[in-house]
Amino acid sequence: MEEGVLIPRPETELLVDEVLKRLDKAEPAIGIELGVGTGCISITLLIHKKELKMVGNDINIKALKLAKKNAKRHGVSQRFLIFGGSLFQAVRPFAFDFLVSNPPYIPSYLWESLPKALRFEGYNSLIGGMKGWEFYQEVSKELDKYIKKDGFFVFEIGHDQGSVIKEIFEPLGYKVEVHKDYSGQDRVAVGWRL
Ligand SMILES: C[S@@+](CC[C@H](N)C(=O)[O-])C[C@H]1O[C@@H](n2cnc3c(N)ncnc32)[C@H](O)[C@@H]1O
């Protein structure tokens, strides 16, 4: 296993399901994923929906190489554009059908207390800043330019971050729905413009 690369977890399925159930199977769609890592979210979406194209980025170049390899292995590389970059830095404004992300969301003060097996995934994969939710806050500032009017976002979130996600996005005109994981904790936030 290579250091700095995320190991996909069952919660990722919840994220993928929330995207797929909002897309019409037969209609073409184009989505963006911020922080693709090794590509498991976008690749799973592309496997399930043949009419979908994905654009994805990450700041971890090592992970991106694996994402490209994985996309090829699963026969979806023609529909998956992957590039290096932070947040929307290298993405021109575009009306995507949706944005999906499993970003770093753990507050920095918890780093030392994380199990070694988790820390193996790398600081930048896990730590979202001092509060943990800075990534969502950054995305919220530009999201309007990157999803179409009836588009939506789906985020994986920390176990106690449902209310803060609402506080970030609802004043900007989004309705936010928080879904729990298998152990009853906040895990996925879905939002769309009102
Ligand atoms: C929790 S991991 C998720 C990886 C993958 N999407 C998955 O679910 O397996 C978070 C990912 O976000 C990336 N990341 C962190 N900060 C980023 C930023 N500012 N812009 C883009 N990607 C970022 C990390 O390198 C890491 O690959």
Best mutation site among 36, 133, 154 for ligand 1 pocket (most ligand atoms within 8 Å of CB): 36
Q: What structural domains does the chain harbor? A: 11-193 (3.40.50.150)
Q: Which atom of ligand 1 is nearest to the CA of 126?
A: 1
Would you write out the chain's pLDDT as a tens digit for each of its 194 residues?
454 444 567 888 899 999 999 999 889 999 999 999 999 999 999 999 999 999 999 999 999 999 999 999 999 999 999 999 999 999 999 999 999 999 999 999 999 999 999 998 899 999 999 999 999 999 999 999 999 999 999 999 999 999 999 999 999 999 999 999 989 999 999 999 98
163 lines ligand 1 (CB under 6 A): no
Give the residue among 3, 6, 74, 2 at the shortest CA–CA distance from 35.
6
Burial tier of 183 (Cβ tally within 10 Å: 0-12, 13-18, 19+):
exposed
Q: Which residue's CA is the nearest one to ligand 1's atom 18? A: 86
**Using CA atoms, how far apart are residues 80 and 121, in angstroms rounded to an integer?**
23
What is this structure's pTM? 0.96
Q: Which atom of ligand 1 is nearest to the CA of 60?
A: 25
Best mutation site among 124, 138, 154 for ligand 1 pocket (most ligand atoms within 8 Å of CB): 124
